[in-house]
Chain A
Amino acid sequence: MSDPRIDEALRSMLPRMRRFALWLTRDAHAADDLVQSAVERALSRWHTRRDEESLRGWLFAILYRLFLDGKRRAARQALLLGSISNDEPTWPSAERVALAHSTLAAFAALPVEQRSLLLWITVEGMSYREVADILKVPIGTVMSRLSRARRALRQLGEGDPESPSLRLLK
Chain B
Amino acid sequence: MTTTTPPSEHDIHAYVDGHLDSAHRSEVERYLARHAEQAEEVHGWRQDAQQLRTLLAGDLAPAPGLDPILVRETSRRRRAQRLAVAAALFVCLAVGSIAGWTARGVGTGDAPMADAMQAYRLLAMDHGVGMDITTGNETDLRAWLAGRIGSDIRLPDLADAGFRPIGGRLFATEQGPAGMVLYDDGNGHTVSFYVRPPGPARHLLPRGAREEGGLLASYWSDGGHNYAVVSTSTEAGRGAAERVVARSI
Contacts and interface: CB of A to CB of B under 8 A. Distances in A.
B65 to A, nearest CB: 7
Interface string B90-129: 0000000000000000000000000000000000000000
A26 interface: no
Interface string A111-124: 00000001101110
A64 interface: no
Given A2-B72, A143-B13, A15 B59 contact: yes
B140 interface: no
A90 to B, nearest CB: 19
B60 A36 contact: no
Interface stretch (B47-55, B181-189, B193-201): B47-55
B56 interface: yes
Interface in A46-82: none
A143 B8 CA distance: 10
B71 A32 contact: no
Given A101-B55, A103-B51, A118-B52, A7 B60 contact: no
Given A6-B68, A36-B71, A143-B13, A15 B60 contact: yes
Tell which of A43, A121, A122 has the most Cβ of chain B within 10 Å. A122
Contacts, number: 92
Interface of A: 2, 6-7, 10-11, 14-15, 18-19, 22-23, 32, 35-36, 39-40, 43-44, 101, 103-104, 107, 118-119, 121-123, 125, 127-128, 139-140, 143-144, 146-147, 150-151, 153-154, 157
12 contacts: A7-B69, A7-B72, A11-B67, A14-B66, A39-B68, A40-B74, A43-B72, A118-B49, A122-B52, A123-B53, A150-B45, A150-B48
Given A39-B66, A43-B71, 8 more contacts: A15-B59, A18-B60, A19-B56, A22-B60, A32-B66, A103-B51, A123-B52, A123-B57
Interface of B: 9-10, 12-14, 16-17, 19, 41, 44-45, 48-49, 51-53, 55-57, 59-60, 63, 65-69, 71-72, 74-75
